[in-house]
Structure 1
């Protein structure tokens, strides 16, 4: 508690904390707004029934998506396309020489890799949104024959749903980057944690009642591993340029090191 009080006494840190809280609240509000074309009353009733009958599966899905995915909200896709794109780009640095060269260029190369990650995020979000909408249209999202969309839908409605969910994923990625730059940092991890923390009490109780302590303990361990793993990856990406510079005796700036004359390099 004393650390929190000291943090709010610092004007700059207080602004960052307040900005982060505002972004998290906006993210949680968007996770509750249904996508146009969704029968919200029907999907809520179906989710309540399914979690009671098979609480392990649907409760875990709702837990990791913060309740947004199965409700088909505008943030249903969430941050997962960005996480997937980041992993893919990092893996491509091993097999694609151009990416490997960008990684060695320091800050400028990292900026280009960030742009590639954003483009790949957009593509993955569009693909995932189309897949989820297709499952919902075929009444297979929450089980065979379960209707979650408005009966009077048409192809235009489905296209709008895909575009809205894709835009929501891009907006979530932007919010995470804003938290990282202007907030307290680790924006992506904080958004994931906010979604998990929101659903954790309700879904945890349902899992405990329906499946016992063993399954509940496994879910808790999975949540801890997920959050810790994402945080470790993000912090590792931040430390790579600094550690590279230190190994060459230039701890102050990687960009300054690479601007040395070629004869000295």
Structure 2
């Protein structure tokens, strides 16, 4: 503990790192403050009372969206859509980069190409917001917003002003994320999503605690302790999933060390291939498809037979929903890994740098080997990812409230763990550059080597 405190002091003593952390915290506070502002024409107090009186464990899909926006989605906030349109636009641009030569060229143009892709993503974010905004406003009554909350009705003026503010809110959230990435400690969009998820943690745990400890509650304090232990075990499993890698040994026949006249013969390194190279993207893709059955059940043009089938696959805790959800995650894990990990390019880069995998010819054979290894490790990684994604549904079956169960797996927990690890690595890099030990090691100042 003493070493940890000393490390925190070292972090605060580095002016550049201190400023980055303060900027990041300031922007996160601004984002959370904006998420509390209700759309004009709506009575925030009436909405808050309706949300408080609403029974826990409602629509699972809506709860998931609401978690990503820090409660702004169900509160009808100006940040109700948050960074979700930007994430959708980023995914679309990334997928379009596979098929559109112009985007492929921009990806290879370095910094100038990256700026153009960023600009395309921004404009696409606005377009997506203009589509999602009206759909969101039309669904406000079904989200539990009572009729008396609309102080000025739902006329044209309400729609125009709300659309302007929803679009502005998404653009503002995108701008905050980019500023955190540029001026703060990085991962701006991910940090905004994480802070929105964490915002619902205290109330969810408090509701679960009260339900177990109040008179007539099942389990009492002992059950709460068991739930916390299981939750920590799931977090540990997430950490292993995020950090697990398969090391592929690489050897360099001859390598000149810069600044010296000696050569290193047979220098040995490795290529790290992640067990879960796709991250949380397969869950995001799968959830996007799982929204379809829910939409069909509420659509007026859907027949009764289709509604029954769609209802079977839209139950968050149902067998059909979770089996289909798990299968989609496994499929998208392979799909996203295949399009984002260019094994042939890795093999070509390795060949140009004079490296090779022992016993394997450089070039095509190396690329085939890397592709085969990646396919083999993606299978257990995708299975593990699917189990984590559907774990909240199993937890609910054991009597845990749905809002608290959301923190037992799925996208929310993986995002929190992944962003936390990335942030620690960013801080570690600053400490090591200033000759301090990393955050997870000791807090002593390291001697610089001349």
TM exceeding 0.5: yes
How far the C-alpha of 1:60 sits from its partner, in A, is 4.2
The aligned residue for residue 139 of structure 2 is: 135
Q: 2:23 aligns with which of 19, 26, 30?
A: 19
1:6 lines up with 2:10 in the alignment: yes
**Bigger helix fraction:** 1
Corresponding residue for 1:198?
Answer: 199
2:101 aligned with 1:97: yes
1:125 counterpart residue number: 129
Instruction: Give the corresponding residue for 2:409.
Output: 221
Whole-Å Cα distance in 2 between the matches of residues 42 and 188 of structure 1?
31
Question: 5+ residue gaps in structure 1?
Answer: 234-265
Aligned counterparts of 1:76 and 1:100: Cα–Cα separation in 2: 33
Question: Is 1:49 aligned to 2:24, yes or no?
Answer: no
2:191 is aligned with 1:185: no
Q: 4+ residue runs of structure 1 moved beyond 3 angstroms?
A: 51-62, 145-148, 204-211, 213-219, 226-233
Give the structure, 1 or 2, with the largest relative contact order (CA under 8 Å, sep 6 or more): 1
CA contact (8 A) 2:57 2:401 kept: no
Going from structure 1 to structure 2, the CA distance change for 1:231 and 1:78 (only over 3 Å counts) comes to farther
Q: Following TM superposition, by how much is the alpha carbon of 1:51 offset from its aligned partner in structure 2, in angstroms?
A: 3.7
Q: Tell whether the 8 Å contact from 2:83 to 2:174 is kept in structure 1 after alignment.
A: yes
Extract unaligned runs of 5+ from structure 2: 213-395, 423-450
Q: State the SS of the aligned residue for 2:139.
A: helix
Q: Counterpart of 2:72 in 1: which secondary structure?
A: coil
Distance 1:119 1:61, change over 3 A: closer
Alignment length (residue pairs): 230
- 2:39–2:77 CA contact under 8 A, matched in 1: yes
Whole-angstrom distance in 2 between the partners of 1:207 and 1:132: 29
Larger radius of gyration: 2
8 Å contact kept, 1:186–1:231: no
1: CA distance, partners of 2:115 / 2:86: 15
Map Cα deviations across residues 87-129 of structure 1 (whole Å, 9 max, x no partner): 1111101111111111111111111111111011111122212
Q: 1 or 2, which has the higher strand percentage?
A: 2
Partner of 1:172: 173
Larger displacement relative to structure 2 (195-204 or 169-178) = 195-204
Name which of 59, 80, 84 aligns with 1:80: 84
2:443 corresponding residue in structure 1 = none
- What is the TM-score when the length of structure 2 is the normalising length? 0.47
CA distance in structure 1 between the aligned counterparts of 2:68 and 2:55, rounded to whole angstroms: 15
Q: Quick one: structure 1 residues 197 and 102, their matched pair in 2 at CA, closer, same or farther if it must change by over 3 Å?
A: same
Q: What is the CA–CA distance in structure 1 between the aligned matches of 2:147 and 2:155, rounded to whole Å?
A: 18
**Correspondence for 1:250:** none
Q: For 2:95 and 2:62, how far apart are their aligned partners in 1? A: 31
Asked whether the 8 Å contact 2:180–2:186 carries over to 1, the reply is yes
| C-alpha distance in 2 between matches for 1:130 and 1:228 | 33
3-state SS in 2 of match to 1:66:
coil
Report which stretch shifted further, 1-10 or 59-68.
59-68
Question: Retained in 1: the 8 A contact 2:27–2:176?
Answer: yes
Sort the Cα spacing of 1:148 and 1:141 in 2 relative to 1 into closer, same or farther, 3 A. Answer: farther
